[in-house]
């Protein structure tokens, strides 16, 4: 395993396991158990995924030492205020059955970000969270938070994959000493990414799959990555990416695959923001 050192000195595994879109609690619990058995120690969940209880149950069943694990969760926009964030943190800890979280993120850059961040800072100082960060923040939103907060975010978790390489955002985050973490590294299989001939030709040189090439490409860019799968054989394949290194030519070839387009949605689109907020939008406007 490779590790990155966050700007507060905390070390974090560079490859982890995500549980987005695994709402079935029994399936999620088994997936996390399989991931831990395969060697993963970084587990990424969120309040919005509605599976924190399953992650906590798997951690307990695994028998692994808490100190050997790196557990991340996230605050949803419905709790994006000082008072609600304080409750949201406690809810995540309770559902996970943990005394502390290694990393806790603001899931979206909406709502009372500054108020919510203050609650995260207090939990950080109290030892309930070892590191705090953000998710889906553009560089200007991140800069605004940095200029107004006391504790600097350690991570910005954003969409990064071969179709959406985010080179400029990566550079801007790195300039602020904020670690980039990639969600959707496989672009959810869109545009035939697992069958892409260019990635396949690179993989053949190393005896690796398209997925393994993608993960290695992200790792060599200094990015933390959290692939998801409910299949143990795929988890093991995704974990097997530390015994080869892509050449500079390989990295340049993959760079040319960039479509510079999100495979999901524009986080700055007002319609998207309203959709993400849902019923919490009206509540925010009245506060």
Q: How far apart are CA 152 and CA 8, in angstroms?
A: 9
For residue 283, the model assigns a pLDDT of 41
Closest-CA residue to 224 (of 154, 280, 286): 154
Closest-CA residue to 52 (of 88, 86, 93): 93
E strand or H helix at 70: strand 70-75
- Give catalytic residues, as residue numbers: 49
Please report where in the chains the tokens 């600097």 appear, as a residue: 152
Please report where in the chains the tokens 């999620």 appear, as a residue: 28
For residue 140, the model assigns a pLDDT of 95
**In contact, 42 and 252? CB cutoff 8 Å:** no
Angle between helices 232-239 and 25-38 in degrees, nearest 10: 40
For residue 286, the model assigns a pLDDT of 42
By three-state DSSP, how is residue 209 classified? Answer: coil
Q: How far apart are CA 93 and CA 269, in angstroms?
A: 32
Closest-CA residue to 42 (of 92, 103, 89, 108): 103
For residue 80, the model assigns a pLDDT of 94
Closest-CA residue to 105 (of 67, 79, 69): 79
The CA radius of gyration of the chain, in Å to the nearest whole number, is 18
Q: How far apart are CA 215 and CA 67, in angstroms?
A: 26
By the 10 Å C-beta count (0-12 exposed, 13-18 middle, 19+ buried), 55 is classed as buried
At residue 238, φ and ψ (nearest 5 deg) are: -65, -30
Q: How far apart are CA 186 and CA 165, in angstroms?
A: 12
Max distance between CA atoms of the chain, in angstroms, equals 59
For residue 276, the model assigns a pLDDT of 77
By three-state DSSP, how is residue 120 classified? Answer: helix
In order along the chain (287 residues), what is the average pLDDT of each group of 10 residues?
97 97 95 98 96 98 97 96 97 98 97 97 98 96 96 98 96 97 94 97 98 98 96 97 98 97 81 71 44
């Amino acid at each position: 395993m490779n590790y990155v050192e966050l700007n507060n000195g905390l070390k974090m595994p560079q490859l982890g396991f995500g549980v987005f879109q695994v709402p079935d609690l029994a399936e999620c619990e088994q997936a996390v158990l399989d991931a831990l058995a395969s060697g993963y120690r970084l587990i990424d969940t969120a309040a919005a995924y509605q599976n924190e209880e399953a992650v906590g149950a798997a951690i307990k069943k695994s028998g692994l030492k808490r100190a050997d694990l790196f557990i991340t969760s996230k605050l949803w926009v419905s709790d994006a205020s000082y008072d609600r964030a304080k409750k949201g943190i406690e809810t995540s800890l309770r559902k996970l059955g943990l005394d502390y979280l290694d990393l806790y993120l603001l899931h979206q850059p909406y709502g009372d970000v500054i108020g919510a961040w203050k609650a995260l800072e207090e939990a950080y100082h109290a030892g309930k969270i070892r590191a705090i960060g953000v998710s889906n923040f553009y560089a200007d939103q991140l800069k605004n938070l940095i200029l107004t907060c006391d504790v600097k975010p350690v991570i910005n978790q954003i969409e990064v994959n071969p179709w959406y390489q985010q080179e400029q955002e990566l550079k801007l985050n790195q300039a602020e000493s904020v670690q980039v973490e990639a969600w959707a590294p496989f672009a959810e299989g869109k545009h035939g990414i697992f069958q892409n001939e260019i990635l396949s030709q690179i993989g053949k040189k190393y005896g690796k799959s398209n997925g393994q090439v993608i993960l290695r490409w992200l790792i060599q860019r200094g990015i933390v990555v959290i692939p998801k799968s409910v299949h143990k054989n795929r988890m093991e394949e995704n974990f097997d990416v530390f015994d080869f290194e892509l050449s500079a030519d390989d990295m340049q070839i993959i760079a040319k695959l960039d479509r510079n387009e999100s495979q999901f949605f524009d986080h700055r689109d007002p319609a998207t923001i309203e959709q993400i907020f849902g019923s919490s939008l009206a509540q925010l406007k009245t506060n």
